Amino acid sequence: MKRAHSELFSPYRFVGVVTGDVAPSVRTTFVGKKSMISLLCPIDNVVIQYNGQKLRAVGMSDPLPQKITAIASSSSCVYAAAGTEIFVLPFCREVSKKVKVDTMTKLMYLIGDQLIVVDVNNGIRVLNIEDDFETYLYLEGSEDFEITSLLHPSTYLNKILLGSKSGKLRIVNFRTGKVVHEFQNGFGSAITALVQSTALDIVGIGLQNGQVLLMNLKMDKILGKFKHDAKITAISFRNDGEEESMVTSDENGTLAVWNLEKQELIGKVTKVHSADVNLLHFVPGEPIMLSASCDNSLRCWIFDGADGMPRELVQLEGHAKPITSVSFSSKHHVLSSGLDGSVRKYDVTSITMRQKLGTSALMSKAKAKKKNVDFETVRLENAIEMAVGWQREAAWDNVVCRHKDTLEVTTWTTRKNCAGSITIVHDRFKTDPNLIGTVATAICLSPCGNFVFVGYSSGHLDKFNVQSGRHIHSFTETKFKSNKKKQGKVEMLRQRAIAHESAITCISVDQKGGELASGCEGGVIRFWNLSTNLCFLRLRTPSLRLKMSKSCDTNNLFAVVCEDPEGKASVVIIDAICHRIVRTFNTVGDKVTSVGFSSDGKWLLVADNKCYIRVFELSTSNLIDVLLFAKPCVGLSFNPTGEFLATAHDGEQALYIWANKTLFLSYVKIQALPENFVPTWEDQENKADVCIDDDDDDTIFDEEIRKMRELQIDDSLITYSGLAPSRWANLPDLALIKERNKPTEAPRKIKQAPFFLAAAPTLEGFEFEQTIGEGEEDIDQKALNAKISLLELESSFTALLRKAKTEKQLLEAFETLKAMSVSAIDFQIRSMTPTVFSAFFRMFAEVLKTRRDFELVQSYMATAIKIHRTKLWSNEDGNDELQEVLGELMRLQLNAWGEYEDLLMEDTAVVQWIKNALL
């Protein structure tokens, strides 16, 4: 899906899509004497490769610039057409070559080393693969013969069979460019499929009117006719030698098996695929067939029954219709619901891990079959809202779904990955005729996971137990007098009483589970005490209608989407503790389709119907990012740890996963944007395919990080170095850490060498003895003397300090020390002689004057004082220069630390007051 560049989010992957609307290509590869079948499925702008045996994803290509319109493959290469280019992918991974063509491609067919390409103008282009994809021949197309299908009949050298929309067939020689033969007898309907049968000269022809024809090309004769109720989309012939049969499919997803000898129907397979079947393929020599459909499913069938009908062996599927709601259930697992009525779970870290929890219904398929009830009669509408809790996942159902225009609320479990056995509904709606047509309009789970709150279009607000589905309480402002004699009647009146005068659209529970907030379309928000079940506060917004709400899982804030009489949307943030509006965002688009919080509660994400997702920072009320997509976002959710954002888009069967850059990059540029800022495709033309893993981008990020570290706002302000704490925090205790990390056991005894080899034991094992000559003894003695003399030499840093006289030279010495590793800094400080102590501490004084690298100065100074404390405390030499330098250093240190400490204590006090005060 096309998207614009974002400062905060980077594309990670999409999950949930198995196959697209472009027919897959079947590829046979050979490893030794064994062959392997794989399916290449174009999905948007990528190609996913599946193992033909288990239908498991084994690879994915790099993204192409545009959507793939056609695909062809051989045992050694894959060819994908996207836009006006054909991309060559040898291993279905990286693009090795791009071939430019004039127009967009709609069909491709590979014949040996010739790639036949049919464009949208019905032109035929022949590319020679061996000659670096040079165009060998190009035939101009015409509107009179619109090509709809393409086939190379077996043994027909250099010839292709073309089917047209008008129902005519034509044989063309793609070497000479001449029309060899055109069949005069048209079929009166568009040709939708051409397939070679197991017999020479005989092909299967599928028509739009539902007919399937067996035709002898050499004799121009129809050998058999078969009929479907809808357009034919795919044909395949069984070729294992056991039985002469043919399988056909139509646009309704029905599979029909035909006996070719008797020319009769063996049977039909219905309600398996719910959309066009664009691929039927028999594995050569085996009774196994692969099918792919536009309903986002792949299936593997085996013909092992006595009746000749197929049995489903393996299935791989996703949502058959677009997704409507999305919610994370754990760190890596995300739930989604679609228009097909199913609820599914995906693992965002893997494209192979997926699970169908079930289909929305009043009972399961197994239970309906047991009770002899048609499952279609008990199916519910698709789920449009999900409430997920993890607290009671191990005990009972932890997911609650609200369905479109439906009264019942269903439960699901992510532990068992199935639908729950409970359907939540109040008895009042079954007995009161005035409440016919009432639907559930809002749901919310309590933080403890024990209760679910359901709001209805009638204004009722009920509390249910999730484990049993039992009704607990109905909220109402009406007060009823307790009367033991009329207790039943009073309870009945209480349950019929409403909580709001209009449909309830917002429900939120605070993090302690002590208060409940509910809002209605009339613009009234009521706060309920869950201990007394009484309303204690009311907020009114008469001119606004409340459309939806979203609670934050890490604090007591919840967002409410409002709409004024003119239809303009806004979002308000309400504090559930203070019971007041704390933030208002008016520039959120015309109509809000989804709203959510980041996992840490710092960001608010608002999606609108104009394909934008706006990211607001709650602490400053600033707009910090705007995401632009090709389609509007209808659902979004952050995972609990904040690494991933999942989005669902209008008309899409895929879930798109985005990585949070702030958790994966060392520096992300976050800045306030104008309130009315919206990106456009023209502005993002060169940014749409930005990849953060490129070397150029890494260089840019490193340069920005370096500039940020060197930035000092003002000379009077204390500035940190920006180095990681591991570069300086453990320096004063480095000796203790090394002592602690010493081995606890003595070296084990070394195994002896074979008896016939003279060996000498060493710390690293043993080494064979060697005869040492007289000359070598002299060399060893010289090396030993050199090592002894080395200990008496001063280090390079000490020599640099001894030469440093000016302020610039002292600062350069500090930069040299700063660039060293922790162990090297420790060595340099330990190897200093008392003669350079004055220069060493004067260096710290000069750095303190600049107010830079404050934490490094403290760490280095503490390390030096700890190591050389004995020499510094002794006054044998009477070094007046050192005493003067230390006095100046103490004055600078107290001055800098005094200002720093005052600000630190003041900020700490203000933060503590804000945390404890009720504002």
State how far the Cα of 546 lies from the Cα of 442, in Å rounded to an integer.
12
Q: Which regions of 32-77 does DSSP assign to beta strands (E)?
A: 34-43, 46-51, 57-60, 68-73
Q: CB–CB of 441/505 below 8 Å?
A: yes
Residues with Cβ within 8 Å of 54's Cβ and at least 6 positions away in sequence, in order, are 314
The first and second tokens of residue 483, run together, are: 């009367």
Q: In 3-state terms, what secondary structure has residue 155?
A: coil
The first and second tokens of residue 276, run together, are: 């066009």
Residue 690 has a pLDDT of: 38
Q: CB–CB of 161/150 below 8 Å?
A: yes
Residues with Cβ within 8 Å of 469's Cβ and at least 6 positions away in sequence, in order, are 411, 422, 423, 424
State how far the Cα of 82 lies from the Cα of 424, in Å rounded to an integer.
49
Cα within 13 Å of Cα(447), Cβ side: 16
Q: Listing from the earlier edge strand, what are the strands of the sheet with 612-617?
A: 592-597, 603-608, 612-617, 622-628
State how far the Cα of 366 lies from the Cα of 646, in Å rounded to an integer.
32
The residue type found at 626 is V
pTM for this prediction: 0.76
Q: How far is CA 4 from the centre of its chain?
A: 16
The first and second tokens of residue 97, run together, are: 């070559």
Residue 658 has a pLDDT of: 92
State how far the Cα of 124 lies from the Cα of 150, in Å rounded to an integer.
11
Residues with Cβ within 8 Å of 185's Cβ and at least 6 positions away in sequence, in order, are 220
Residues with Cβ within 8 Å of 659's Cβ and at least 6 positions away in sequence, in order, are 9, 10, 11, 12, 643, 644
State how far the Cα of 484 lies from the Cα of 231, in Å rounded to an integer.
70
Name the strand (E) or helix (H) holding 759. strand 759-762
Buried b (16+ CB within 10 A) or exposed e, 87-124: bbbeebeebeeebebeebbbbbbbeeebbbbbbeebbb
Q: Which regions of 44-177 does DSSP assign to beta strands (E)?
A: 46-51, 57-60, 68-73, 78-82, 85-89, 97-100, 105-111, 114-119, 124-128, 134-139, 147-151, 159-164, 169-173
Q: Which residues of the chain have pLDDT under 70?
A: 479-496, 683-715, 748-794, 875-879, 917-919
- Closest to 226 measured CA to CA, from 241, 244, 204: 204
The first and second tokens of residue 703, run together, are: 């340069």
State how far the Cα of 526 lies from the Cα of 583, in Å rounded to an integer.
18
The residue type found at 348 is V
Q: CB–CB of 474/495 below 8 Å?
A: yes
- CA-CA distances (angstroms) from residue 635 to 340, 384, 521, 602, 907? 16, 9, 21, 19, 39
Task: Give the position of tokens 């840019």.
Answer: 700
Residues with Cβ within 8 Å of 199's Cβ and at least 6 positions away in sequence, in order, are none
State how far the Cα of 146 lies from the Cα of 139, in Å rounded to an integer.
13
- Closest to 892 measured CA to CA, from 831, 829, 850: 850
At 148, give phi and psi (nearest 5°).
-115, -20
Task: Give the position of tokens 């009823």.
Answer: 480
Residues with Cβ within 8 Å of 737's Cβ and at least 6 positions away in sequence, in order, are 730
State how far the Cα of 77 lies from the Cα of 57, in Å rounded to an integer.
18
- A 10 A CB-CB count for 510 gives 21
Q: What's the alpha-carbon Rg for the chain, to the nearest Å? A: 38
Q: Which regions of 283-332 does DSSP assign to beta strands (E)?
A: 288-293, 297-302, 311-317, 323-328
DSSP 429-498: HHH-GGGTT--EEEEEE-TTSSEEEEEETTS-EEEEETTT--EEEE--S------STTHHHHHHHHHH--
Residue 768 has a pLDDT of: 44
Q: CB–CB of 569/549 below 8 Å?
A: no
Buried b (16+ CB within 10 A) or exposed e, 10-28: bbbbbbbbbbbebbbbbbe
Q: CB–CB of 225/239 below 8 Å?
A: no
Q: CB–CB of 228/212 below 8 Å?
A: yes
Longest Cα–Cα distance of the chain, Å, equals 120
The first and second tokens of residue 761, run together, are: 């034991």
Q: CB–CB of 341/356 below 8 Å?
A: no
Q: CB–CB of 42/24 below 8 Å?
A: yes
Task: To the nearest 10°, report the CA torsion of 5, 8, 13, 15.
Answer: -110
